Amino acid sequence: MSQERAIAHLEAIRQDIRDEIKKRVQQRDRYSIQLTIALSAIVAVSFSNPDWSKVLIAAPLVSIYFTMLILYSYRVHRISAAYLREKIEPELARLCETSPDIEWEKYYQAHAVPGIRESFFKWALWVVTIASLVYLWTLESKNCGFIIALSLTTAAYIGTALWIMCAFRREKKAMRDWPQKTAPRYRNAVFLDRDGTINVDTHFPHRIESLEFIPKAIDGLRLLATLPLDIIVASNQAGIARGIFTRNQMSQFNAELRTRVEDAGGRIDAFYFCPHLEMKHLRPGDSPCACSKPSPGMLLEAAMDFKLDLSKSFLIGDKTSDIAAGESVGCVTILVKTGKEGKEEGALPVKPEYLAENLYDAALILQSYLEPGKVN
């Protein structure tokens, strides 16, 4: 990719992220106003007439609903900002020969995540919930049936809140199937497509009994294991969104693949996946996700987890979508003549830097590329 094209591509990504941050800030303002109005109405109604005091039981439910929306908005804001701050801005600064601090301060500092406000919403959730339920408990202390119902409702509210908060924490790992915790060793990596590059693409392969390695793939993985780089599999798994198989089935397939590779003397350091529909499966008007190749989301996520320099990393795949994803973040790209051979449906007009007959030949290219003096 020429420097001009790389700059234009990164600037487009930067603008998309900035627009997303603006949208999330405006979204939180709307949710905050709606939450305030809803709680005010509930309190006003409950205190206007003693017979309507039980209306106050709706306050915790409303608080949980809007607070979770607000906290999720903060989370998307943080992830978007992290990509912008840690990946896009520094790379643009390098290509444009400017200071990344200057580029960053132009926009992000004016929209920094307001941590105090986020903490306020977290505390507000519990304060409103507990205060409302204690008030109702006091009002109905002589009504045993109501106390039992209130106790169950309280447990449901608290359980729901804890479950959603835990889900938010797990979501960051949604694109990494394995390992649960990363152990970065190198500053560069080789990203491998899975189906059609390592194993035979049997059209949404997910059954362990159908796992079959492409000829010379094991040899290639064995050679890659001797090189000073992390080996990361990044694959689109749209079969999950289409209901063909489950995430658990995909994980079992990946685990079996990794076990066989390790038994043969190879190594795989991580599996990343996109469970969403690919562009060719989307309905007209639907927007693609940021992790399905040719988008580089999986690569960016892995770069953050493993602290990688993507400009010194590599990508090997059998589809033009693989090549486009690697090219967009500055990886050295190699197209293997296995699987789709770059002739998949909706093939993109991109050219890899290298062509290889199979994964082993691609590994030989990497071996020569990593000779002293070529990659630091």
Please identify every residue annotated as catalytic. Answer: 193, 195
Distance of alpha carbon 151 from alpha carbon 157, whole angstroms: 10
CA-based nearest residue to 273, from 244, 241, 310 = 241
Distance of alpha carbon 106 from alpha carbon 85, whole angstroms: 12
Residue 248: alpha-carbon gap to chain centroid: 18
CA distances from 189 to 150, 230, 231, 269 (A): 55, 4, 6, 10
| Helices 115-139 and 144-171, axial angle in degrees (round to 10) | 160
Residue 226: alpha-carbon gap to chain centroid: 29
Distance of alpha carbon 171 from alpha carbon 255, whole angstroms: 21
Distance of alpha carbon 233 from alpha carbon 220, whole angstroms: 14
Could you count the other beta carbons within 10 Å of the beta carbon of residue 15?
11
CA-based nearest residue to 295, from 375, 175, 168 = 175
CA-based nearest residue to 260, from 221, 229, 227, 228 = 221
E-only strand ranges, the chain: 176-178, 189-192, 230-236, 270-274, 314-317, 332-336, 354-356
Q: Which residues of 120-154 are buried (b: 16+ CB within 10 A; e: fewer)?
A: ebeebbbebbeebbeebeebbeeeeebeeebeeeb
**Residue 268: beta bridge partners?**
none
Q: Which residues of 38-72 are buried (b: 16+ CB within 10 A; e: fewer)?
A: bbeebeeebeeeeeebebbbbbbbbbbebbbbbbb
